[in-house]
Amino acid sequence: MTKGKVYFVGAGPGDVGLITVKGQKAIEKADVILYDRLLNPKLLEAAAFDCELIYCGKTPYTTGISQGEINELLVSKALEGHRVVRLKGGDPAVFGRVGEEAESLKDEGIPFEVIPGVTSSIAASMYAGVPVTHRDYGRSFAMVTGHDQTKKDIDWNGLVSIDTVAFYMGVANLPSIRENLINHGKPGNTPALVIQWGTYGRQESVEGTLDDIVERVSGRSLGNPAITLVGDIISLRGKLQWFERKPLYGQRFLVARTGTAKSALAEALYELGGEVIEFPKWNATKVKIEESQLLAFLSYDRILFTSPESVHGFLDSLTEHAIDFRRISSKLYVLSRKSKKALQQRGLTAELKSGMPEAGTLLVVGDRNRDLRDLAHGDGDYIQSITKFVDERFLEIFPRMLDGKAVGTVLFSNRHSVDMLMQYGNKADVDVEGLLKQASIGVIGESTGNRLQDYGFTSDMMPKEPSVEQLVDLIVNRNVC
């Protein structure tokens, strides 16, 4: 069998937008992905549906998968002929043990490639408002492991001469770091900054000096993953802060998903500084429709699409059979603005179902079995153009996505999203009911709010008009108040 190849990919420190283009492409093409604890699991959504996802997370002071076992997995999966991605938080070459793992591949003659990523110290520092170099404050920069495993003494004399020093994962050893820096000549009034979960919406920063940083961090109960920054350059933070001043900074949201399309709601919250978890993860496969069937469908007076996926499935089938879209003489209707936009992107216009007349023949195009014969859609004929289903690989990942800071707000876009979060959240061994009791709840419309009440919950936010923009405005105004 032909040997596969291993790609060591730097995932960046947390913000999914910091993945490199080359790293993203490697994820999309992978047969197997071995991923770490500290990267953002949302990056895994780009993987193919048949890609095997293997969790290799390690937590401090606990037993888990060993480095030797990871090395063996890389070798065995590559020897099976797979395209393997070793997905690491930050940059694989900066305290990422890429050397050890690559050596194990080299010994077996397995080809590999390293795709660098944005390292935590540089990204987290800038997200906290501190550049690691500056002509007036810092012309030298050093990165040091905060929990040294080499059993060799750190060159503290050399470090005190460096303008800016970043310690990785050094919160537990912060008292020792402070003591050594001061004892080797660093002034006690040197600015210090500890950044936990850098570049995530849950990022938290504690600023002080070497004299008092230990007590300040202890008072805020910060822990790893964190970067500790030491140097006069930290004084620029007051002028250069940008991320922590976004309107939804520090807020954590859970958006209940019902489709494969990119969520406009999640994207809007993310752009405003919020950390957004989306669940469940959906996939779709096209249903084969014969050409004769498609041509018959075009004779209906009205066609109602129940989702964006049903739109694309139907139109893709037309394209596959070389049927010109201009042959559609039917009046087109949709259940949501998302579906309307999907049609617009394909050069077609539609109206919302609320404006659909009752007269005329009707074809309802759906994306899953529950759409078939749903009387709420109208008295007509039904066809499934695509099969949409929950990606159950993410049932294991969902609980880990919820680790850390509690979710403050849960958002539902339609009735189906309520059912799906309840069903698949509990299937993932997450106490959804308990989560909802502790969080604020937002819904886009009255129908969604009514479905939520069926489960014993009431919404805290509902816009006057059912739109993403108005719901986001409510959230921002609520946060400001």
Question: Is 186 tagged catalytic?
Answer: no
Give pLDDT, residue 150: 43
To the query of whether residue 422 is one of the catalytic residues in this protein, the response is no
**Per-residue model confidence (pLDDT) at position 154:** 85
Nearest to 409 by CA among 203, 223, 265, 271: 265
pLDDT score, position 149: 43
- Extended strands (E) in 323-417: 331-334, 351-352, 362-366, 381-384, 386-390, 409-412
**Which CATH number does 290-387 carry?**
3.40.50.10090
Output 286 or 113, whichever has higher pLDDT.
113
pLDDT score at 379 = 78
The stretch 246-266 carries a mean pLDDT of 93
> Does pLDDT of 371 surpass 80?
no
Task: Say whether pLDDT at 61 is over 80.
Answer: no
Query: Quick one: fold of 5-118?
Result: Cobalt-precorrin-4 Transmethylase; domain 1 (3.40.1010)
**Do the domains 252-281+391-480 and 290-387 sit in the same CATH topology, yes or no?**
yes
Out of 15, 31, 36, 367, which one is annotated catalytic? 36
pLDDT at 64 over 80: no
* pLDDT band of 233, cuts 50, 70, 90: very high
Sorted by where each begins, the domain ranges of the chain are: 5-118, 122-245, 252-281+391-480, 290-387
Is the per-residue pLDDT at 377 higher than 80? no
Contact 154, 180 (CB under 8 A): yes
Note whether 362 and 300 are within 8 A (CB): yes
Can you tell me the distance from the alpha carbon of 340 to that of 308, in angstroms, rounded to the nearest whole number?
A: 8
pLDDT digits (tens, 9 = 90+) for 404-450: 789 999 999 989 999 999 999 999 999 999 999 999 999 999 999 99
| Catalytic option among 42, 77, 91, 169 | 169
pLDDT band at 124; cut points 50, 70, 90: very high
Catalytic residue flag (residue 437): no
The type of residue at 193 is L
Cα dihedral angle (442, 447, 449, 453), rounded to 10 degrees?
A: -160
pLDDT greater than 50 at residue 62 = yes
Q: What radius of gyration, in Å, describes the C-alpha atoms of the chain? A: 26
Mean pLDDT of the chain: 92
In percent, the amount of the chain with pLDDT more than 90 equals: 79
What pLDDT sits at residue 113? 97
Q: 122-245 sits in which CATH class? A: alpha beta
How many other CB atoms are there within 10 angstroms of residue 398's CB atom?
A: 21
Query: Domain 252-281+391-480 belongs to what topology?
Result: Rossmann fold (3.40.50)
Give me the catalytic one of 3, 5, 25, 58: 58
134-180 pLDDT tens trace: 999 889 999 998 776 444 678 899 999 999 999 998 898 999 999 99
Q: What is the pLDDT of residue 125?
A: 97
